[in-house]
Structure 1
Amino acid sequence: MNWTNPRKLMTGLAIATALSTAAVALPVEAATLRMAWSQDATGLDPHKQTAFPSIRLLELVYEPLVRLDPDLNVIPAIATSWEFAPDAKTLTFKLDPNAKFTNGAQVTPADVKASFERILNEETAAAARSNFLSIDTIDTPDDATVVFNLKTADVPILVAMATINAAIVPASEITAGTIGTEAIGSGPFKLDSWEPNSREVLSANADWAGGDVKVDGITISVLPDETAILASLRAGQTDFALLNDPLVATMVPNEPNLQLNRVAGLAYNVLQLNPSRPPMDNLKVRQAMSCAINRQEIVDAALAGEGKVTGPLTMPAFAQDPSTLFCYEQDLEKAKQLMAESGVTGFTAKVIGATGEPPVAASEAQVLQAQLAEIGINLEIEMMELNVYVDTWLAGNFDMAVAQNGGRPDPFPMYNRYFTKDGNLLKVSNFVDDTLDTLMREGQAETDPAKRVEIFHKFENHLVEQSPWLWLSTGYGYTAQLKTVSGFVPSPTGTLFGLTEVSIQ
């Protein structure tokens, strides 16, 4: 099937129109970075947020014990050093004595302990809870030391801790019940105000233990769409912007005063099936769908070629050649044969997607709709506002979902939440499999890097064969900036933490 992309033509015309008209004026503030994005945060609780805009905002306000640098190495954040015991069952951190929350209080071992106890409390509904179930007890032997005693060897727990879903929050705020209503972190910026779907104002945190940031603050404006963002950049009314739409991002290099930052990401685009609902509970139906889709065609048509076909493991240290995975080359004859063997003679299902997050979701759904029609599957597409989509997704209340999920440098914290028997996002995957659970546990406890790669390759092969989800592609993370802005280094994780190094000429 040959695909043309009317969205590309229409988007191009919209961009041209936007660039020929005056952009909405944004306030000019000396030494303040004027930033824009088109999707706003949906909440302020760092332990609960799953939406990318929320995570990107909170990474500037809160800090975990450790973080990842742009090369995906674990580096200090609140902790200055850490050490595993030889059996990998004890992990000891030393805290930075200069780390302070924006309320002036020092970050203490008690805050670390309280934060992880909150994450582990089922009532919190923390997004990454299952990544920390190996924690048995937490000791605080002195005012600078935190010791995690683990039930099993758990090397990947360090990578799991390097996310904002493992942020350290004040124990006093946990007791007061104000996490999520006030943003009191120890990060490089303070959140001074948040007007949902309109504007955020951040100021530099003078007490940040990480040193001085190079701007006085950041004002984030939520603009209607990314064509408006590009127009605002072109007019010099925005200094820096987060872009998600490859069709808009690829226009940036044509602008003489703008710079595009582009980095291959760990996040993946995926068609999530709900195997708890007929007929997706039928393995042969799921496999038929995997064989029927043309992943490269989806990349070309929906992502304008800005991506690559991927299996579940998107991180460089573990990724396999996707062509070696089950039915990654489109095979309609095999798909039709599998459908015949399934006993299902075509069906109708609804696929949901979030409007604008990612911007390619609707286009992906349309291409999938056409491809799956070839084997008698009728997809009805329903696009939702981001906050509605997130709630529906978390509840697992869908037949299928076009999603973009975050990646990690290690497979265990990336997929443990979905595909182990005690994963806290089992409602999202709706899929329990003994083999996947066993391989996950083996990969968690194994300390030999080569053996871990072997284990997770088996995990990936089995996951793709079971086809609870159909992995499609990875793309790129984009930011755009005026050439008067310098110092930003993008990361495969998509974090905007690099804004701590930004300066404005």
Structure 2
Amino acid sequence: MDSRPAPFRSPIFVLPLLLLACTLLDPSRLLPGLTPVAPPEPSLPTTAPAAPGAEISHANTIFLAESEPESLDPARTTGSADEIVGDLFSGLVRLSPDLQIVPDVAESWDISPDGTVYTFHLRPGVVFHSGRELTAADVKFSWERALAPETGSFTAATYLGDILGVAQVLDGSTKDLTGVEVLDNLTLRVTLDGPKAYFLAKLAYPTSWIVDRETVDDIETNPIGTGPFRLLRRTPGEEIVLVRNPRYHLGPVALEYVVYKIYAGYPIRLYEGDEIDFVYIPEDLLERAADPADTLHGNVYTVTELCTWFVGLDTSRPPFDDADVRRAFALAVDKQGYSDIAYEGRLPLAAGVYPPGLPGYRSETRGLPFDPQAAVQALARSSYGGPDALPEILLTTSGAGTDLDPTTAFLIQSWQEVLGVTVRVEQLESFGFSEEIYAGRHGQLVPWGWCADYPDPENFADVLFHTGSRQNIGPYSNPTIDAMLEAARRDLDPESRLDRYHEIEQALVDDAAAIFLAHSPASYILVKPRIVGYRASPIGVAQHMNLSIAPP
């Protein structure tokens, strides 16, 4: 899930995170001048150095700024495919930078006429970093492990949930995923609970990637996968160094090393000092980036990520179990004012949940406007009759200390000024923040965001708002909308299903399922001129295996 509570998150270019879920948005990335502050260092194991190889240098290595990963386990990660796990592990398929589904460990597949049975044919000779050959049984093991309650995956139910038998593995009643059959060492048959046009795209997310059953108990210190790189050493709070996998199944990898610098400082300063090779820059630095004599010189890639910021409303607790209260809070927010504070007025305002560029996005969606009078009337019409009878309202965000990020402060001030409602704030540590939110340990209001993991409206409407979805932080529940979502899942006609998702989006807006605020503006990714092969993508995809270093 690019469940990420982190907007503008293309994890190979890290700015400081306030949130981080699969595809979730980070308000600090809206403010280019902010200086990153590392959260308290987590207690993580140090991995001893592996056997030395060629010397690490700019001639054979890319250097990246990163925050400390919460996990190196693809079943437990909540980031995207362009993070560290994308270097270490592989799945049956992957997304290309232009968002096409391409073969990975599976070299081909067949789909039954009714769209419910997928037969995958694996590449012969794929080996784990340990040297053991991968088989279809490893795929089944990896999926069963991801779904097992003891693994604690926040994403498995979402990204593997269309397979027959998933519910029984999730609840612990069996360890056997009956919808997955190993036909032979290189053939896997997967049966779904219905036709799903987006199923293959879901398999490009890390949850389904293949782990080594022989070493998986030590995955955080010894992550053995089939990816283009393997772990060389890890020093928590300092760096993670990966080395090329010489037996990578998709062909030779040009880079010798990938070095992730953990909390190393302000990314733009690191880039200027030639310490990292990629960085996001604000628009006012584009002129410097174009000057070959400037320390900030590089190749600029413009990309608009498929992200939406919103305020999650806990509809299971008062007062947001009342739709009129939800509407009142939504109508009280001036989205243009939010954009002015967050990004100098350049954020595309959100009418609904789908970002521009996502299939299913339509400009005719009618959002809830900024209307203070209507907001007051909606609150008066609610079962509470006005602000005085409301229970205490708590907003949960990421951070520490007494300072709030400007966007959160703007929202709180808006509700106070328009509705006369005082909202209390609690701040949780950045490290592990998304796990706390997904576990339900939060207030009634959560500033949140979502970036697409695959280009389909199901990844927003269904994942975020269907009853019982792990990423439905509300937890919002509407039987009518559930039925609409379930019908859209099974619709294989492209035009018809997009019409369905438009109707669903409008229904979510009308019911004030969340307060939809804004979408991603254009982002500028600066890359050192010596880096060859990078392609900007609106969704984070693994591509370090395709990069190389130009000769001096």
- With the length of structure 1 as denominator, give the TM-score of the two structures: 0.86
Q: Aligned AA for 1:39?
A: S
Instruction: Find the residue that maps to 2:319 and give its secondary structure.
Output: coil
- With the length of structure 2 as denominator, give the TM-score of the two structures: 0.79
Q: Aligned AA for 1:350?
A: L
| Partner residue in 2 for 1:144 | 186
Q: Is the 8 A contact 1:128 1:417 kept in 2?
A: no
Instruction: Find the residue that maps to 1:286 and give its secondary structure.
Output: helix
Q: Aligned AA for 1:220?
A: Y
| Partner residue in 2 for 1:202 | 242
Q: Does 1:70 align with 2:101?
A: no
Gaps of 5+ in 2: 1-27, 37-54, 165-178, 292-296
Equivalences for residues 106-505 of structure 1 within 5 A: 106-126=133-153, 127-136=155-164, 137-174=179-216, 177-223=217-263, 225=265, 228-241=266-279, 243=280, 247=282, 250-251=284-285, 253-255=287-289, 256=291, 257-310=297-350, 311-314=352-355, 316-321=358-363, 324-327=365-368, 329-342=369-382, 343-345=385-387, 349-355=393-399, 362-373=405-416, 374-399=418-443, 400-407=445-452, 408-426=454-472, 428-475=473-520, 476=522, 478-498=524-544, 500-505=546-551
Deviation, structure 1 residue 10: 9.6
- Using the TM superposition, name which of 59-68 and 465-474 deviates more: 465-474
Q: Is the 8 A contact 1:55 1:164 kept in 2?
A: no
Instruction: Find the residue that maps to 1:265 and give its secondary structure.
Output: coil
Q: Distance in 2 between matches of 1:224 and 1:362?
A: 22
Could you say which structure has the higher helix fraction?
1
Q: Would the alpha carbon gap of residues 470 and 250 (structure 1) be closer, same or farther in structure 2, given more than 3 Å must change?
A: farther
- Using the TM superposition, name which of 434-443 and 493-502 deviates more: 493-502
Q: Distance in 1 between matches of 2:235 and 2:429?
A: 17
Deviation, structure 1 residue 252: 5.1
Q: Aligned AA for 2:528?
A: L
Gaps of 5+ in 1: 1-6, 16-26
Instruction: Find the residue that maps to 2:405 and give its secondary structure.
Output: helix
Q: Would the alpha carbon gap of residues 109 and 478 (structure 1) be closer, same or farther in structure 2, given more than 3 Å must change?
A: farther
Deviation, structure 1 residue 111: 0.8
Q: Deviations over 1:320-375 (max 9, x none)?
A: 21x63231x3111111110111123155533222349xxxx923212212222222
Q: Distance in 1 between matches of 2:362 and 2:125?
A: 43
Count of aligned positions: 473
Q: Distance in 1 between matches of 2:310 and 2:196?
A: 28
Q: Aligned AA for 2:77?
A: Q
Instruction: Find the residue that maps to 2:87 and give its secondary structure.
Output: coil
Instruction: Find the residue that maps to 1:431 and give its secondary structure.
Output: coil
- Name the % identity: 24
Could you say which structure has the higher strand fraction?
1
Q: Distance in 2 between matches of 1:110 and 1:442?
A: 33
Q: Is the 8 A contact 1:28 1:34 kept in 2?
A: no
Q: Distance in 2 between matches of 1:304 and 1:167?
A: 40
Q: Aligned AA for 1:160?
A: K
- Using the TM superposition, name which of 363-372 and 275-284 deviates more: 363-372
Q: Distance in 2 between matches of 1:302 and 1:112?
A: 43
Q: Aligned AA for 2:438?
A: L
Deviation, structure 1 residue 9: 13
Q: Aligned AA for 1:189?
A: F
Deviation, structure 1 residue 59: 1.2
Deviation, structure 1 residue 500: 2.8
- Using the TM superposition, name which of 93-102 and 27-36 deviates more: 27-36
Q: Would the alpha carbon gap of residues 42 and 504 (structure 1) be closer, same or farther in structure 2, given more than 3 Å must change?
A: farther
Q: Is the 8 A contact 1:287 1:335 kept in 2?
A: yes
Q: Distance in 1 between matches of 2:100 and 2:110?
A: 15
Q: Would the alpha carbon gap of residues 471 and 430 (structure 1) be closer, same or farther in structure 2, given more than 3 Å must change?
A: same
- Using the TM superposition, name which of 307-316 and 99-108 deviates more: 307-316
| Partner residue in 2 for 1:20 | none
Deviation, structure 1 residue 253: 4.5
Q: Deviations over 1:185-216 (max 9, x none)?
A: 11111122222332110111111111122211
Q: Aligned AA for 1:206?
A: P
Q: Aligned Cα RMSD in Å?
A: 2.9
Q: Would the alpha carbon gap of residues 202 and 232 (structure 1) be closer, same or farther in structure 2, given more than 3 Å must change?
A: same
Q: Distance in 1 between matches of 2:202 and 2:29?
A: 38
Q: Is the 8 A contact 1:309 1:472 kept in 2?
A: yes
Q: Would the alpha carbon gap of residues 104 and 253 (structure 1) be closer, same or farther in structure 2, given more than 3 Å must change?
A: farther
Q: Aligned AA for 1:365?
A: T
Q: Aligned AA for 1:326?
A: G
Deviation, structure 1 residue 391: 2.7
Deviation, structure 1 residue 388: 3.9
Q: Is the 8 A contact 2:88 2:229 kept in 1?
A: yes
Q: Would the alpha carbon gap of residues 120 and 391 (structure 1) be closer, same or farther in structure 2, given more than 3 Å must change?
A: closer
Q: Would the alpha carbon gap of residues 89 and 12 (structure 1) be closer, same or farther in structure 2, given more than 3 Å must change?
A: closer
Q: Is the 8 A contact 1:42 1:51 kept in 2?
A: no
Q: Distance in 2 between matches of 1:484 and 1:498?
A: 14
Q: Is the 8 A contact 1:131 1:416 kept in 2?
A: no
Q: Would the alpha carbon gap of residues 193 and 498 (structure 1) be closer, same or farther in structure 2, given more than 3 Å must change?
A: closer
Q: Would the alpha carbon gap of residues 179 and 344 (structure 1) be closer, same or farther in structure 2, given more than 3 Å must change?
A: farther
